[in-house]
Amino acid sequence: MHMTYLLYEGIEPVDLAAIGVMSMAKRVIPQLTYETVAATNAPVVFSNGLRVVPDRLFDDVSSVDVLLVPGGPGWRKASEDPTVLAFIRRVAPSGLTCSICTGAMILAEAGVLEGHAATTKVEVVDPEVAPLSELSVRYPKIAARRALVVDEATVVTGGGVTLCIDTTLHLLERRYGSEKVDEVARIMEYGAARRANRSRFLEVS
């Protein structure tokens, strides 16, 4: 599996855990690869000021195996960025598209989630509106679900913040099976947390 991780200004650094999972999983599944992509070569500033230099540019990517769109407070600006939306619309049909946290809101604006069920972040600080509620109201053609992960075959959406770990493990399990992914979770010391998340959230497919 090759993960193409989309970068935009204002990503939540926790969502980099998706790449962390891929890195750890290479010990069990050596053929895994990943890259970051952005509109320009300039360092992308995350929500806490962390700067990440992209591996490739949007224009260099003609197709994807797995496109991963992360979340964070910058999602609103990204969902209004024609360059970001055009890239997603162009490459999404070539592979599996996945969002974590509020990355689903960007996919929704790009039209990728229309006609599908999807999930996104739920827990917020008052008076913020839960992104899942906003997804339901703004995009009536998307069936909003409170879930750990929603797998719609060609598009996968994961829940909020740290559930990016579970979502990435789900992607790996789809491709490589439960035995290998259970071993990945073990060496990450995440087995108990994964079981707990599965017990408190639905997995929709």
What is the per-residue pLDDT for 33? 98
Across 142-170, average pLDDT:
96
In Å, what is the CA distance from 108 to each residue of 83, 90, 112, 118? 15, 15, 6, 9
Enclosing domain of residue 165: 2-204
- Other beta carbons less than 10 A from residue 195's beta carbon: 10
CATH number of the domain within which 173 lies: 3.40.50.880
Across 36-41, average pLDDT:
98
Across 130-157, average pLDDT:
97
Across 53-73, average pLDDT:
98
What is the per-residue pLDDT for 204? 72
Domain count, the chain: 1
What is the per-residue pLDDT for 205? 61
Tokens matching residue 109: 């604006």
CA distance 147 to 204: 7
HSE-up (13 A, CA, CB side) for residue 184:
28
CA distance 64 to 62: 7
